[in-house]
């Protein structure tokens, strides 16, 4: 499939199909592309999933496509491993005057159209940007709520809280770090951090 290097004059419809570890059956994609009138000789295939970086079929297709051609896929997600990658690729193809058309997306897209197909793609890009914003806002809100509740943010504490509290009690009694480490089995390096955080001291202020 897609092995003829000769490119006839006039815009071609070139198909691309990629296998998936989930619901995207390669056979279903090929059947739909064939039903759309695209011959096997103009169809490029990658059998591995999108998690695989190496996609020789897509690379061959992109090397063969010329201005005026249209790349046809079953759904847009076949073109990349994530939405950002798909959007970047479709944008780059548009810069080269190569269109992209999907057959089975909820709102089928044809970027070669000046009408609804192009609007649909622009909406996809907008939704992607909105989702990145919402994700960042949700993460920031979760951090703010956790900090307000006094919960630890970031890397999990390596030692149980009750041991840390015991270490703080021993320090308040005047015991040395060596004695506290022996009783709690918390390394001195960690004790420096836990106890300095509790008292507001710097680690250099604490006796060994």
- In degrees and rounded to multiples of 5, residue 9 shows phi and psi of -65, 150
Q: Which has the minimum average pLDDT: 47-56, 138-147, 199-208?
A: 199-208
**pLDDT exceeds 60 at position 200:** no
Distance CA 16, CA 152 (A): 48
pTM equals: 0.57
**Residue 6, token pair as written in the block:** 């000769």
CATH number of 13-129: 3.40.50.1390
User: Residue 42 burial (CB < 10 Å; 0-12/13-18/19+)?
Assistant: buried
How far apart CA 99 and CA 90 sit, in angstroms, is: 8
Q: What is the pLDDT of residue 126?
A: 65
What are the tens digits of pLDDT across the range 119-138? 777 777 767 666 766 677 77
Active site residues: 20
């Amino acid at each position: 499939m897609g092995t003829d290097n000769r490119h006839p004059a006039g815009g071609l419809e070139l198909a691309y199909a990629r296998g998936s570890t989930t619901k995207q059956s390669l056979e279903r994609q090929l059947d739909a592309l064939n039903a759309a009138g695209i011959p096997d000789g103009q169809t490029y295939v990658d059998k591995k999933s999108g998690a695989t970086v190496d996609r020789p079929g897509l690379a061959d297709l992109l090397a063969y496509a010329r201005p005026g051609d249209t790349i046809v896929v079953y759904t847009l997600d076949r073109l990349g491993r994530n939405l950002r990658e798909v959007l970047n690729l479709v944008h780059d193809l548009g810069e080269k005057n190569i269109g992209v058309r999907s057959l089975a997306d909820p709102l089928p897209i044809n970027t070669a159209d000046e009408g609804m197909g192009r609007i649909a793609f622009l909406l996809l890009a907008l939704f992607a940007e909105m989702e990145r914003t919402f994700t960042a806002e949700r993460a920031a809100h979760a951090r703010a709520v956790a900090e307000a509740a006094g919960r630890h943010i970031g890397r999990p504490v390596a030692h149980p809280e009750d041991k840390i509290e015991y270490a703080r009690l021993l320090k308040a009694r005047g015991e040395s770090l060596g004695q506290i480490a022996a009783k709690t089995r918390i390394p001195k390096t960690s004790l420096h951090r836990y106890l300095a955080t509790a008292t507001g001291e710097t680690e250099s202020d604490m006796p060994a």
